[in-house]
């Protein structure tokens, strides 16, 4: 699964969007714990998680954030764009078996700086679990 195209800044317009859908597995949470070093038991230990407000194991919030990175890196704008900044508001937990739909939408084009601003939403069953805003530098066709 390689990215098939990249958008240049001239290709983007306010309102354009791109989404990807990913169902979170137990193995995904374990793999994210391994690579990040975040072995907080709320992610890994069902008995501990049962004692928390979440009642069961939850995914790392940064796993959903990583899906935003995946949309940018793989779909829109795709390879060649440079990630400058991202805000993240964690709204609700993601549990094993939840399907996270991650959508980024162009909200502003700053053509002279080759930058685009995106609204980012990760949602489960239509309910936002993570929202934020990103700024990327996007290559120009002219360059």
Using CA atoms, how far apart are residues 61 and 7, in angstroms rounded to an integer? Answer: 28
Q: Closest by alpha carbon to 24, among 71, 62, 59, 69?
A: 59
Nearer to a copy of itself, 75 or 109 (CB): 75
Q: Which stretch binds a copy of itself (CB under 8 A): 9-17, 25-33, 103-111, 121-129?
A: 25-33
For residue 57 the two structure tokens come to 């194991």
Regarding 8 and contact with a copy of itself (CB under 8 A), the answer is no
Asked if 10 and 80 touch (Cβ cutoff 8 Å), the reply is: no
Footprint of a copy of itself on 43-102 (CB under 8 A): 43, 48, 52-53, 60-63, 65-70, 72-74, 78-80, 82-90
Q: Angle of helix 61-74 relative to helix 26-36, nearest 10 degrees?
A: 90
Residues forming the site for a copy of itself (CB under 8 A): 1-3, 20, 22, 28, 31-32, 34-43, 48, 52-53, 60-63, 65-70, 72-74, 78-80, 82-90
């Amino acid at each position: 699964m390689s990215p098939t195209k990249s958008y240049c800044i001239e290709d983007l317009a306010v309102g354009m969007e791109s989404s990807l859908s990913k169902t979170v597995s137990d193995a995904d949470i374990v793999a994210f714990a391994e690579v990040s070093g975040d072995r907080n038991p709320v992610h890994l230990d069902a008995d501990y998680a049962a004692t928390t407000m979440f009642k069961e194991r939850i995914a790392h919030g940064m796993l959903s954030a990583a899906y935003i990175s995946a949309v940018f890196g793989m779909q829109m704008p795709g390879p060649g764009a440079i990630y400058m900044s991202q805000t993240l508001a964690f709204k609700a937990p993601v549990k094993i078996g939840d399907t996270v739909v991650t959508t980024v939408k162009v909200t502003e084009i700053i053509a002279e700086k080759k930058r685009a601003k995106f609204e980012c939403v990760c949602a489960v069953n239509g309910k936002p679990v993570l929202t934020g805003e990103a700024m990327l530098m996007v290559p120009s066709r002219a360059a």
